[in-house]
Amino acid sequence: MIDIRLIRENPELVKENIKKKFQNEKLVLVDEARRKDEEWRKLKAEADELRASRNKISESINQAKKAKNDRKAKELIKEAQELPEKIARIEQATGRLEQEIKEIMYKIPNIIHKSVPIGKDSSQNVARKTIGKPKKIGFDIANHAELAEQIGGADFETARKISGNGFYFLKGQLAQLSVAVLNFARDYMIKQGFEYVEPPLMIRKKVVEGVMSFQEMENMMYKIEGEDLYMIGTSEHPLIGMYMNKALNKKDIPQLVTGFSPCFRKEIGAHGIDEKGFFRVHQFYKQEMIVVCEPGDSYKWYDKMLEHSINVFKALEIPLRILECCSGDLADLKAKSCDVEAWSPRQKKYFELGSLTNMEEAQARRLNIKIDNKGERYFAHTLNNTVLASPRVLVALMENHQQKDGSIKIPKALWKYTGFKEIKAEKEKKK
């Protein structure tokens, strides 16, 4: 959420930002917010004037009583008795306007960073760099879902029967690999100075509204029927939410947190080549990192967090591409974001593993997260980044470390976590 002062002082900048995001239907919201804000300020000034009048009348009543001017005192008392009702009516109107303004401001997108490429949708995202060279493979890479079933590592059919599409049973050594890679990611982040946290798996609506846009909430979140609770779509949400309504002492900034949690999402991806498998599932596990920092430091942290992602996947020997999101592909709260993508030797293209985002003060403003610097309070900046998510990371591992016979080599960085160096092919297991 942007500062209302920006709409008061520079509405054209806000409108230009909306145009850059190709959301022209929202242009009317700027004028609507401005009109309601002007009405609110006018009423607030009127209420302030009435309160000041009440104080003056009280003083005049005392003077009239001292002068034994009973008639004047009665007139003033009558006038004073009418003021609370007038003030209450105005406060009711300003309260209603405040809520209406808030709802409008929630729909107006955050100001994007000047470095964000302008583009209408994800097809215009910009590849910034690649890390690691794809291996030359002289055989056909097996589909990850089929291979997972062949090695006894997944059961999609039974999961579909008991839970529906978008679910899976993860089994045996593939399930152990999933735990191993998540533990590796956790330990890496702890070594970087991040505090490890396991958050609640359900959060209240006011937290959901603070961390994401209404459209994202509708598309992603599972609502608990009859309760003010939503299943989390990512541990970022409760991790940012735990700072709600807090003023953090400047000496305790930055706050560096890495969280592990199961995640739950309504969405399931487009039908196609990998409809069956570990893409766009309803349930998965994720190691996340968040930073709450000084506004002037947030883009330094953006670069550091991206470096952490690169280091993790380098250790896993997975070739990467960093894809910067264009203006039209940024969700409304995002000021800047990029996707970390893995190379798929089977499809000969990159696919998303996670994303890094700087929200600047958008989340902090919604959740009232401030920094206290010797009494001076201002909104913090918040950032989030996927360390890795499983089982999607398993796709990258299975494809990039798949052998001709169908076995899967385990990267050296994971050996101490798995206790094994490869997952053998089906035919080898039967021997």
Give me 114's structure tokens: 């000047």
Helix, strand or coil, per DSSP, at residue 327? helix
Hey, what are 231's tokens? 């299943």
Beta strands in 229-307 (DSSP E): 230-231, 247-249, 255-264, 283-293
- Residue 291 burial (C-beta neighbours within 10 Å; 0-12, 13-18, 19+): buried
**Residue 32's pLDDT is what?**
97
Q: Mean pLDDT, to the nearest integer, of 336-349?
A: 96
Q: What is the pTM of this model?
A: 0.89
What is the rounded CA–CA span in Å between residue 51 and residue 57?
10
| 3-class SS of residue 70 | helix
Could you tell me which of 341, 337, 347 has the C-alpha nearest to residue 318?
341
Tell me the C-alpha distance between 65 and 63, whole Å: 5
The structure tokens 């010797």 sit at: 374
**Token duo for residue 305:** 């967090």
Say what percent of the chain tops pLDDT 70: 95
Q: What is the mean pLDDT of residues 173-177?
A: 97
Q: Give me the pLDDT at residue 427, please.
A: 54
Q: How far apart are CA 238 and CA 212, in angstroms?
A: 12
Distance of alpha carbon 227 from alpha carbon 218, whole angstroms: 16
More confident residue, 357 or 83: 357
User: Across all residues in the chain, what is the average pLDDT?
Assistant: 92
The DSSP letter of residue 402 is: B
**Tens digits of residue pLDDT in 106-150:** 999 999 999 999 999 999 999 999 999 998 888 999 999 999 999
pLDDT at 222: 93
Tell me: the pLDDT tens digits for 77-105?
777 777 778 888 999 999 999 999 999 99
What is the rounded CA–CA span in Å between residue 20 and residue 16? 6
* pLDDT(357) > 60: yes
Q: What's the pLDDT band for 68 if we cut at 50, 70, 90?
A: confident
Q: Which residue in the block uniquely carries the two structure tokens 């609502």?
A: 223
- Cα dihedral angle (302, 303, 305, 309), rounded to 10 degrees? 130
Q: Is the pLDDT of residue 431 over 70?
A: no
Note the pLDDT tens digit of each residue in 239-298: 999 999 999 999 999 999 999 999 999 875 444 434 678 988 999 999 999 999 999 999
pLDDT over 80 at 55, yes or no: no
Amino acid present at 53: S
For the beta sheet containing 230-231, the strands, ordered from the edge strand earlier in sequence to the opposite edge, are 202-203, 230-231, 222-223
pLDDT, one tens digit per residue, over 396-415 is 999 999 999 999 999 999 99
Residue 322's SS3 state is: strand
Q: Which of 41-55, 259-273, 281-295, 381-395 has the lowest mean pLDDT?
A: 259-273
State which amino acid sits at residue 3: D
Give the model's pLDDT for residue 270: 44
Task: Yes or no: say if 167 and 196 are a contact pair by the CB < 8 Å rule.
Answer: no
User: What is the tens place of the pLDDT at every residue in 199-250?
Assistant: 999 999 999 999 988 777 878 899 999 999 999 999 999 999 999 999 999 9
Residue with tokens 């739950």: 264
| pLDDT tier, 314 (very low <50, low <70, confident <90, very high otherwise) | very high
Average pLDDT on 294-315 reads: 98
- Three-state secondary-structure class, residue 169: strand
Q: What is the CATH number of domain 122-430?
A: 3.30.930.10
Spans of all domains in the chain: 4-107, 122-430
Tell me what pLDDT residue 67 has: 75
* CATH of range 4-107; options 3.40.1620.10, 1.10.287.40, 3.40.50.360, 2.40.110.10: 1.10.287.40
